[in-house]
Structure 1
């Protein structure tokens, strides 16, 4: 009698471990949009401080040039303007942001039923020290551009031209940087900042030139 071959009752099939359930696959999360509002505090303080430092110091030096002052006197005047302006900007920004901080804390306390700790943890709070530091440093850096560019030039015409060109380039750079970090139009912001700086420098030069003519001041020194 012929024996039939035995067929195993259990068949094992190996499944590759790389196969995964499509439903368990996770899709990458989209990147969160840039929060430009969080940047607004320090961007505003930095750009405002740099523009003020550059425009005020350049206008001071160009105004003094209208009287044909010597380079050493211009350098001393520019340095005094740098220090006074930097401290004034820092103190003003500190007081302003402190007031903003108190207002926001009071508003959050009302929402959190008087819980101060919860109010301070809720969102990003403005930093007076950070804003004051940004204003001081940016004002000083902005004022250094015309101060170093024209403070050591003896010729009146060359001094005036160098301060004007360096200030224009600095204004364009600060305007573009502020627009870039703030997410706005670079061209529009640059033109706005440059036009404002030119207006301040032209008005300062014209007024002091008129004062020198009206009071018959001696403008022969420094040519």
Structure 2
């Protein structure tokens, strides 16, 4: 029995449906994940570089990075939860006002279930942010954990963070259909500047104290 092939009209319709996909629906979790990963990479690597500017001991750098990972993940999760919950309260209040206006105007109450599905999820955003931060922070931690030589360790941290920043910038741009090169460069340059400033200022201040 011959299988019915999709017509040209059906193929065109499928292509239009795919092209018309609303990528803004990804914005909530994508924003939390990309920001969390970038913050985890940059802040943890900067902390480790800052401590490494005055203390070359590998244990000091690893403990600093681990403390930054835990503190940063908790901070990102709490901040994202509070922010998204505030947004949720605002959207629920607006939905109730719209429903009241529809009832007063004789309109139906349709679309309520669909609207609730589109509401932001504070727990999901918080979990995504904390997880992404932890994943990002693990990059410099793992890169430095098994290297005793100070200069090599610093170089490996910078190199691994550079690669990870480019990857996360590229991934966020692809998923959000944004310009890939521009997004990757923006993330990469921001990370380099943060690490350089932290290293330089800590070296300057620490050299006169320790």
Task: Tell me which interval the TM-score lies in, with the shorter structure as reference length.
Answer: 0.7 to 0.9
Structure 2 match to 1:60: 47
5+ long unaligned stretches in structure 1:
1-24, 218-223
Q: Does 1:121 align with 2:121?
A: no
The structural deviation recorded for 1:156 is 1.1
- Partner residue of 2:125 out of 114, 127, 131: 131
Count of residues in Structure 1 that have an aligned counterpart in Structure 2: 192
Structure 2 match to 1:3: none
Residues 117 and 45 (structure 1), Cα distance of their counterparts in 2 relative to 1, 3 Å cut: farther
Q: Distance in 2 between matches of 1:212 and 1:106?
A: 52
Structure 1 match to 2:161: 167
Runs of 4+ residues over 3 Å off in structure 1: 114-121
Secondary structure of the structure 2 residue equivalent to 1:66: helix
Structure 1 match to 2:173: 179
Q: Distance in 2 between matches of 1:130 and 1:146?
A: 26
Q: Distance in 2 between matches of 1:102 and 1:117?
A: 21
Q: Distance in 1 between matches of 2:59 and 2:8?
A: 69
Secondary structure of the structure 2 residue equivalent to 1:112: helix
Task: State whether residues 109 and 119 of structure 1, in contact with CA within 8 Å, keep that contact through their aligned partners in structure 2.
Answer: no
The structural deviation recorded for 1:68 is 2.8
Structure 1 match to 2:3: none
The structural deviation recorded for 1:111 is 1.1
Q: Does 1:212 align with 2:206?
A: yes
Task: State whether residues 173 and 190 of structure 1, in contact with CA within 8 Å, keep that contact through their aligned partners in structure 2.
Answer: yes
Q: Distance in 2 between matches of 1:109 and 1:26?
A: 44
C-alpha RMSD of the superposition: 2.0
Secondary structure of the structure 2 residue equivalent to 1:27: helix
Q: Distance in 1 between matches of 2:178 and 2:153?
A: 34
The structural deviation recorded for 1:107 is 1.2
- Higher Rg of the two aligned structures: 1
Q: Does 1:189 align with 2:189?
A: no
Secondary structure of the structure 2 residue equivalent to 1:207: helix
Give the structure-2-normalised TM-score: 0.86
Q: Distance in 2 between matches of 1:119 and 1:62?
A: 51
- Partner residue of 2:62 out of 60, 72, 75: 75
Q: Distance in 1 between matches of 2:110 and 2:36?
A: 32
Give the structure-1-normalised TM-score: 0.81
Secondary structure of the structure 2 residue equivalent to 1:126: coil
Task: State whether residues 105 and 120 of structure 1, in contact with CA within 8 Å, keep that contact through their aligned partners in structure 2.
Answer: no
Q: Distance in 2 between matches of 1:158 and 1:26?
A: 59
Cα deviations by residue, 1:145-165 (Å, 9 ceiling, x for unpaired): 000001331111011100000
| Higher-helix-fraction structure | 2
The structural deviation recorded for 1:34 is 1.8
The structural deviation recorded for 1:90 is 0.7
